[in-house]
Chain A
Amino acid sequence: MKIVVCVKYVPDATGDRKFADDLTVDRDDVDGLLSELDEYAVEQALRIAEEADETEVTALTVGPEDAKDALRKALSMGADKAIHVEDDGLHGTDVIGTSLVLAKAIAKAGYDLVISGMASTDGAMGVVPALLAERLGVPQATLLSEVGVEGGLVTGRRDGDAASERLEARLPAVVSVTDQSGEARYPSFKGIMAAKKKPVETWDLSDLDIEAGSVGLEHAWTAVDSAADRPARTAGTVVTDEGEGGRQLAAFLAGQKFI
């Protein structure tokens, strides 16, 4: 079985994230890392691989040069090989374009199962997996908090707003997993050393037969016109409880007409 796990390289959420002059996400000033939510995807890929015979796990990223770090992390966790799609023409690509590039790369790599995180921690749209299923024409079993593969079927639990559902789909399929799916392992020292020898292929747009005019900032199907620093919430009154804290808070809420 071939598993492709999609991992994104994102600016660290605890850093001071901002927009660049062209209103794309600034990927230079804040250190990047493998999106924490994609660690869960790598983890589930590895667990599924451990349960099945002859499974190969390929980590795939679309991103700038530094995105190799995300692949290294996935490899040191235990993925077998990695593919990095990198091209100057990709800068500023929106979600529709990103899903095109990922879908072409997944098709070229070959797959029985695609596993993604629930959302990227920078864009946070949570729609790439659904778009991949649409583009690849295979079932989507997304936002799973529990996942298993057996006998050519993927099953899992999706906790929705109104109900918790058990899903079942036939492979090949696209799956995304939530942060409830199971803690991601830490790379071991052995894993880190082994990762250095694992193959990382680099593909550009021409390797994927994607015309330059279909991706990139100029060709995105959406445009950001402005990005303003939200006026930081200013700290209001802080009191120390000396036996009256609850009543003081009640007085504030009454003043604000909440009571």
Chain B
Amino acid sequence: MPEILVYVDHVDGAVRKPTLELLTLARGIGEPVAVALGDGAADTAATLAEHGATRVLVHEAPEYAAYLVVPKVDALHAAYEAISPAAVLVPSSAEGKEIAARTALRIGSGVITDAVDVAAGGSGPVAEQSAFAASYTTTSRVTRGTPVITVKPNSAAVEPAPAAGAVEALDVTFSAQATGTKVIARTPRESTGRPELTEAAIVVAGGRGTVGDFTAVEALADELGAAVGASRAAVDAGWYPHSHQVGQTGKSVSPQLYVAAGISGAVQHRAGMQTSQTIVAVNKDPEAPIFDLADFGVVGDLFDVVPQLTKEIDARKG
């Protein structure tokens, strides 16, 4: 079986869910070899082994936190040289895409971003993507070099698959460019205690219709154990942080359930949520385009409907 290099996204050793999904996809095309960098890299090994990593290449150095992107490119490049994998998979975060693209250029390979599935094909892995605000589904391949593919969160199930997960030190020599962009300060995002937006099974999102009052949206989210999302109109008005924006210039989500409250459903918003499995909407305007894609819609005032829904769910839970 060919080896597949999987770039590990982790925070101080805690592996983020999209990486575990990548391990599932990687097992479909070969044997996953994980590469984990920075503080806590070695602590990722147990989790990665449980999910199918046969080897875990680790390298800890202060450069990963002190400088932007390039040290990680140097390391992924080094891992590529060390194992000559059949493909390289990277989680599709903003940073993941940049790391993937620069690495691809260095190794003379094509790059595909934002795949929603990766499967074995006759001439290498085939990536499925969605295009034009998710109105098209495409399949594509890398035709030159070793395929480098970034994969969106929620594109595969997380499956336990115990493997050796042998920890090996990765040898990395940083390039002259590595220290080009300094990170002079870092403010970690405050935890809301709710699930991560892109990883959540359920997202409850509010728009301009909330007129700035997200209480009902948050209460429903907490009742469902969901993440909270927001439209750009709500974010631009300063009602909710940009890190919660869903859409073309925010996060792209594909949860099992998406609840849109007071959101009209503009094409740029749809671009970020159209691949959700089930969509429900509450909107005062029966003509709102969001109803065209909702599996269930309620024409009504969100300030009546959403609290009633929350109460009813609570009652049903008994």
Contact = CB atoms under 8 A, between A and B. Distances in A.
Interface in B271-310: 271, 274, 278-280, 282, 286, 291-301, 304-310
Contact of B98 (A127, A235, A241): A127
A230 B305 contact: no
B173 interface: no
27 contacts: A94-B110, A95-B101, A96-B110, A125-B113, A127-B97, A131-B105, A137-B177, A139-B181, A142-B98, A143-B94, A161-B93, A163-B187, A166-B185, A169-B180, A169-B181, A220-B110, A221-B142, A224-B140, A227-B131, A233-B292, A235-B292, A237-B296, A237-B297, A240-B299, A245-B282, A247-B312, A248-B298
Given A221-B142, A249-B280, A230 B187 contact: no
A107 interface: no
The B contact surface, by secondary structure, is mixed
Contacts, number: 263
A236 B296 contact: yes
Given A235-B293, A249-B298, A258 B202 contact: yes
Contacts of A126: 94, 97-98, 113
A14 interface: yes
A163 B277 CA distance: 29
Q: Would you list the 10 A-B pairs with minimal beta carbon distance, nearest first?
A: A246-B308, A241-B300, A221-B110, A139-B180, A127-B101, A250-B312, A236-B295, A246-B309, A130-B98, A233-B293
Interface string B137-171: 11111111100000000000000000000000000
A23 B70 CA distance: 33
Interface in A132-168: 133-135, 137-143, 145, 155, 158-168
A130 B249 contact: no
Interface of A: 13-14, 17-19, 23, 37, 94-96, 99, 118-119, 121-122, 124-127, 130-131, 133-135, 137-143, 145, 155, 158-170, 173, 178-180, 220-230, 232-233, 235-241, 245-250, 252-254, 256, 258-259
B313 A253 contact: yes
Contacts of A240: 286, 298-300
B189 A163 contact: yes
B244 to A, nearest CB: 11
The A contact surface, by secondary structure, is mixed
A12 B69 CA distance: 32
A156 B286 CA distance: 43
B104 interface: yes
A245 B305 contact: yes
A185 B113 CA distance: 31
B189, B311, B312 — which one has the most chain A CB atoms within 10 A of its CB? B312
Contacts of A241: 298-301, 304-305
A246 B189 contact: no
A175 to B, nearest CB: 10
Given A131-B105, A229-B136, A180 B242 contact: yes
Contacts of B274: 233
B133 interface: yes
A130 B185 CA distance: 21
Given A13-B267, A162-B188, A223-B140, A168 B110 contact: no
Given A220-B110, A241-B305, A19 B69 contact: no
A160 B184 contact: no
B37 interface: no
Nearest to A250: B312
Contacts of A173: 180-181
B141 A259 contact: no
A99 B224 contact: no
A166 B184 contact: yes
A118 B312 CA distance: 42
B189 A19 contact: no
B312 A230 contact: no
B256 interface: yes
Contacts of A164: 186-187, 189
Nearest to B280: A249
Interface string B119-142: 000000010001111111111111
B114 A125 contact: yes
A95 to B, nearest CB: 7
A239 B308 CA distance: 15
A161, A173, A223, A248 — which one has the most chain B CB atoms within 10 A of its CB? A161
Contact of B305 (A96, A124, A169, A249): A249
B182 interface: yes
Given A161-B243, A164-B187, 18 more contacts: A96-B104, A125-B114, A141-B68, A155-B184, A159-B243, A160-B93, A160-B95, A170-B180, A221-B143, A222-B110, A222-B111, A223-B141, A238-B286, A238-B291, A245-B282, A247-B309, A249-B296, A249-B298
B47 interface: no
B298 A165 contact: no
Contacts of B104: 96, 221
B210 to A, nearest CB: 16
A144 B186 CA distance: 14
A92 B263 CA distance: 36
Contacts of B131: 19, 227
Given A121-B248, A164-B187, A229-B136, A134 B102 contact: yes
